[in-house]
Amino acid sequence: MTRFAAPIAEQIWTMKYRYITDDGGDASVEDTWRRIARSLAEVEAEPDIWEDRFYDALEDFKFLPAGRITAGAGTGRKVTLFNCFVMGTIPDDMGGIFDNLREAALTMQQGGGIGYDFSTIRPKGAVVKGVSADASGPLSFMDVWDAMCRTIMSAGSRRGAMMATMRCDHPDIEEFIAAKSDAARLRMFNLSVLVTDAFMEAVKADGPWELQFDGRVYHTVQARDLWNRIMQATYDYAEPGVIFIDRINQANNLAYCETIAATNPCGEQPLPPYGACLLGSINLARLVRDPFGDGASVDEDELARLVGLAVRMMDNVVDASNFPLEAQAREAQAKRRIGLGVTGLADALLMCGLRYGAEDAVAQTESWLRAIARAAYLASTELAKEKGAFPLFDRDAFLASGTMQAMDEDVRAAVAEHGIRNALLTSIAPTGTISLYAGNVSSGIEPVFAYSYTRKVLQKDGSRSEEEVVDYAVQMWRDRMGDAPLPDHFVNAQTLAPEDHVAMQAAAQKWVDSSISKTINVPEDIGFEAFKDVYMQAYETGCKGCTTYRPNDVTGSVLSVSESADKVPGEGAMPTEGGEVIYMSDPLDRPTELEGATYKLKWPDSNHAIYVTVNDIVLNGHRRPFEVFINSKNMEHYAWTVALTRMISAVFRRGGDVSFVVEELKAVFDPRGGAWMNGKYIPSILAAIGGVLERHMVQIGFLAGEGLGLKSDPTAQVTNLAPPKGPACPACGSYDLRMIEGCRTCASCGHSKCA
C-alpha cells in the first residue's frame, strides 16, 4: 500500500528526494521520513522521543521540509540544508568583487540559491582612481556572475539560481531595468528593483528623482518616467520585480542589528549580508476536516501542534546543516532564522467551500496565517526557555519591532519573559516540487493552476506514455462526489482578476515576518495602466514586493491547454518548461556486446586527432546511444576527455531523450577562438564533439536531422558565413582584431596586446 496519492508524487520522490546507495538507502517514503526525523533529532537531549514526534509530523506529508532538507538530511552528503542565501556586501574594488564571485561559486556548489545587491558597485563611466580608467559598471560584473552560474550544477541536480537587486536611485538603474530585453543576457538571474518609500511618493507626485552614488548626483529624472520604465520592462519581459525595501527594513524584527538590501532568488527571504534561511511548509490541504461538507474547516488544534513540531525541527536544522562559508554559519547561528510557511492553501479553501480571492477567502487566509504565526512565536519562546534565545536577542529592541507590535499580548509577554529562539520564523516559499511530491496540492499560497492535465512520461526506450495528473482537491471531490460537476467556487490562476491575487498576498503578508513568493498572473490583453495599478495596489495594501506574469510572444505562456484533459472549470496544463517530461531514474542495463562506430576528429592547429566512439543499444526495435569513449594521444586532453567520457555515458545510460547533450556541447564557446570545419564555424573543440554525436544520432535514426529534436541549434545563425581572415581574439573569440597604435586590439571587446 503506497502513501503516494498519485504516480507523479512517487516519481518526484524517486528523482528528487529518495536517498539511494549501493547497499540500499530509502526503500520507501517512510524510510525518507525516518531518515529526516532521526537526523534532526540527533541534536536533542532525548533523540529517540523527538525522532518519533518528528516522524509523526512528516507522516502523510503534513509537514514538508524544503527540498534541501528532504534530500540531504541524514545522508552524510556535504550539502547545505539551507535554501536561501544572500552573499556579503560587494566592495567597490576589483579584488573584493572577485572574492565575492568565489564565495558565490562555493555556495552554489553546495546547492544554495543566492542573492546579491549590485548597488554597491560604482556606475558605468565613473572614474577609477589610480588606473586612469572609467568603471565598466555593475551590469558588466553581473555578466561575470551569470557566466559563473552557468558552469555550476548545484546539489540535487539543480542549476544555480541567483537574484540581483539594484536600488532605484543608482545611476545605472535604467540599464538594469532594460537588461532582460536582451534575450541572451543574464539568463541565470532574477532581477528586482529596490524601491524606496521616497521614490513611491515621488512617483505619486510626479516629482524629480536623483540618481546618485557615493554622494554624487549623476542624473536627475522624473520619478514617474522611471517607474513607467520599470513597469514597461516587466509588462514586456516579466522582469524586473519590485521589492519595497523600506517596508522590509521597517518591519524586520532585527532592524536594530541589520540592514537588508537583497533577497533570495524567489524573493520570500529578505536577508542581510551572509544571511541564510531554511524553509518548510505546513500542508493545509491535509488538515481540513470534513472536506466539502457543511462543517469543513482546518483543525486548528492540530495545526498548532504541527507548527510547534515544525519550528523545533527547523531550529535543529541550524545545528545539523553544513554551510558553504564560515560567515554564513556565524550569521545563521547568531540569529537562527527559519522560514515556516504553508502550501495547499488554495486546495484547503476549495475544500472549505471558499473561492480564492473572495472576501471570505481573504479573511480565512488571514486567520489561518495568524494562527500559524501565533503558534510559531509561542513555540519559539518555549524553545528559548529550554535552550536559550538567539545570541543577538535584545528584548526591548525586539519587542519594539514592526512584527511584534502586531502580536497578541500573551505572545509579547512570553517573549519578554523567556526571549525567543528564532529571530524570524515565517515565510512562504513557492513549494512547486514538494507540492507535487505531496500529491499535487496547490503550491504555497498560489491559486490552483490546472485542475487536470496530461503529463507525458519519458520511458527508457525513448517512447512516452501519458498519465492524468489531477489537483489534490479535485481528486478528493471525485472520490467523494463521483462525476458531480465541480462547484462554481473552483477557480484557477488564469480566471482570477489580478486584484484577487493581490488581496490574498496582502492578507498573508500581515502575519509573515519575512516575505512571500507569489506570482500575480495577469491576462495578455491587460492594458498598461491597469497593469501598473496592480503594483500600486500591492504597495498600498502592505505587500513587501510584487511579481507579475503576463503571457506574450516574449515570455511565452505559463499554461497550455491539455487536449486530453477532462473539461473542468479553468482547465489548463502545467508550465511548459520542465512540466512535460519526467526522466526515468534507473540506469539502463549494459548488454555483453554493443554495436557502435568510431569517428576521427581533427581539430585545426592540433597535433593529434581525437577519436570519438559511440556504442548503441537496441530497445523495442529502436537504436539509441548508450555510451561514448573519447580518446587522444595529446596528454593535455587526458583529464577532460576522461571526464567527458564518464559524464556523457552516465547520461546516455539513464535513457530518455538525451539529445540535450548535443545542444549543451554545441553551445560551448572557447574564448581563444573556434575553427572553421567543412564550411561551418565551430565555436570550440567541445562543440565539435557535440557535432560528431549529433551526426551519429542522425545516422542511427535517433534524431530526424541536424538541429532537429533540440531546443535550439547554437550554430544555426553562422553556418553560411564566409571563413574569417586572421586570428580570433583570445578574449572574446571574434575575428575583429586590428592594429591600433602598435597593438593588436579587438574592436569587439577592447582586448589589447602589444605586438
Residues with catalytic roles: 264, 266, 268
d(CA 310, CA 449) in angstroms, rounded, equals: 27
Q: Of 485, 304, 335, 483, which is closest to residue 398 (Cα–Cα)? A: 335
For 434, left (φ over 0), alpha (ψ -120 to 50), or beta? alpha
209 and 226 in contact (C-beta within 8 Å)?
yes
Q: Partners of 611 in the beta sheet?
A: 600, 631
Buried b (16+ CB within 10 A) or exposed e, 595-628: ebeebebebeeeeeebbbebbbbebeeebbbbbb
437 class by beta-carbon count within 10 Å (0-12 exposed, 13-18 middle, 19+ buried)? buried
For residues 283 and 438, is the Cβ–Cβ distance under 8 A?
yes
DSSP strands (E only) in 284-349: 288-289, 297-298, 338-343
Least Cα distance to 702 among 650, 668, 655 occurs for: 655
The CA distance from 32 to 655, in Å, is: 26
Whether the CB-CB separation of 58 and 38 falls below 8 Å is answered with no
Task: Count Cβ atoms within 10 A of the Cβ of residue 733 and give its class: 0-12 exposed, 13-18 middle, 19 or more buried.
Answer: buried
d(CA 666, CA 331): 42
DSSP 405-457: HTS-HHHHHHHHHH--S-S--B-B---HHHHHHTTSPPPTTPPPS-SEEEEEE
